[in-house]
Amino acid sequence: MAESWFPVPAGSGFPLENLPYGVFSASDGAHIGVAIGDVIFDVHAASRAGLFSDSTLSDALRAASLNELLGLGRKAWADVRSRLQELLASSSPIASEDRANFIVSRDSARMVMPFEVRDYVDFYSSLEHATNLGKIMRPGTEPLLPNWRRLPVGYHGRAGTVVVDGTPVVRPRGQIKQENGEPEFAPTAMLDIELEVGFVTGRGNALGEPVPIDRAREHIFGLVLVNDWSARDIQAWEYQPLGPFLGKSFATSISAWVVTLDALEPYRTAPPKQDPAPLPYLHAAQDWNYDIALEIALRTEKMRGESAEGEVISRSNFKYLYWSMAQQLAHATSNGATISPGDLFASGTISGPDAASYGSLIELTWRGTKPLKLASGEERRFLEDGDEVTLTGYCEAAGKPRIGFGEVRGKILPPR
């Protein structure tokens, strides 16, 4: 890969090989950009300057969200990616004296939602997480229900409350069952996080025509980090018989940068063995897991007061997932349901095999029975007001470019 004319610091997750897409607020409205090093390359400005010859593509790059580009499909995505790599390479056709016109500082940019979320699905695809939750929520029974190894379990969530990195989260109120069995309406006392990765879809399918698993690549544009905030006490009371509802729908946070499948290609890896073998419509010819390191950091009000960094409370990896993105997409459309540009499909909490890799507080503290002891001297069972959670993700291996996701951050505000 060529060097970029823009300096990319050593260890940056945003080299020329990554170029994740985001949308930032510019003086004349929302602009699409890609992250390179510590800056944003203003794709909207590049399009306006005539640097993309195809007019449909050029228009899509001047939209206020990625949805139009998503709808153009994989060939267009590949064309934009290779053109951006040309424009950002040392041999760029952009004259040296003009280059500054296309650069925006990432520190000062205000990122907005990268795409309009059309439909939102959340899966439950980590074997370790599903097993832990089964033990915690239904003690004394078989932790995995009989369908779990047969299909990627999921539910439809609330697209309208998906928010971008940095958006604060107000502690929700809801019905909570008390010890005497009666519900009260109160702020959640069990506010939790879920460490997830989601994929966003591009071109859709026709109603009644499933997406075959080996066509999934044509429909999946890229990935974002997802924090699926959860109120465990509200969830526990409401979730049977129909599934998660208000314990989840108050907010779901995504990272501002969408990392493309193309950028992740060097990190594709073999999936875990599935036993029993899935039904044929869930059998993929190629590997669909990716080696993406994931972390959860927690920064309390006290840590902020002492100017201390957040403390990493878990380290997991996207490669642990039992059900892959291709299987999730094939399953979600297997009944003929449509997908559209901008649908978000989240993985479900990604927990690893050991207790230091669990992706939620309900697992890390075993429903509050084993509080986390933080270096600040504090303890946490669940989130308190003022706590700030940051999820980060990156791919890293010797001889390969580092591919960063950036982060998704959110701070808990008191109930209203």
- Which residues bind to Mn ion, rule: CB under 5 A? 122, 194, 228
CA atoms within 13 A on the CB side of 308: 17
Nearer to Mn ion, 251 or 303 (CB): 251
Is the alpha carbon torsion for 93, 98, 104, 105 positive or negative? positive
Nearer to Mn ion, 109 or 251 (CB): 251
Rg for the chain (alpha carbons), in Å? 21
Which segments of 194-301 are extended strands (E)? 195-201, 220-227, 230-231, 252-254, 259-260, 268-269, 289-290, 293-299
Q: How far apart are CA 81 and CA 384, in angstroms?
A: 42
CB of 236 to Mn ion, least distance (A): 15
User: Could you identify the residue written with the tokens 């924090």?
Assistant: 227
What are the C-alpha distances in Å from 378 to residues 105, 146, 182, 212, 363? 36, 40, 32, 50, 18
Closest CA to 298 of 398, 213, 412: 412
Nearer to Mn ion, 205 or 347 (CB): 347
Cis geometry, peptide bond prior to residue 15 (ω within 30 degrees of 0): no
Closest CA to 327 of 290, 267, 287: 287
Q: Which residue of the chain is nearest Mn ion when measured via CB?
A: 228
Continuous H helices in 239-360: 261-264, 301-305, 325-332
Q: How far apart are CA 403 and CA 291, in angstroms?
A: 11
| Cα 196 to chain centroid, rounded | 6
CB of 196 to Mn ion, least distance (A): 6
Catalytic entry in 31, 129, 219, 331: 129
Asked if 360 contacts 313 with a C-beta cutoff of 8 angstroms, the reply is no
Closest CA to 39 of 70, 68, 12, 74: 12
Spell out a b/e string for 364-391, using b for 16 or more CB atoms within 10 Å of the CB, else e. Answer: bbbbeeeebebebebebbbbeebbbbbb
Q: How far apart are CA 152 and CA 195, in angstroms?
A: 17
Backbone angles phi, psi at 72, to 5 degrees: -80, -20
Nearer to Mn ion, 72 or 254 (CB): 254
Q: Establish whether 283 is a catalytic residue.
A: no
Nearer to Mn ion, 47 or 227 (CB): 227
Q: How far apart are CA 220 and CA 386, in angstroms?
A: 36
Active-site residue numbers? Answer: 129
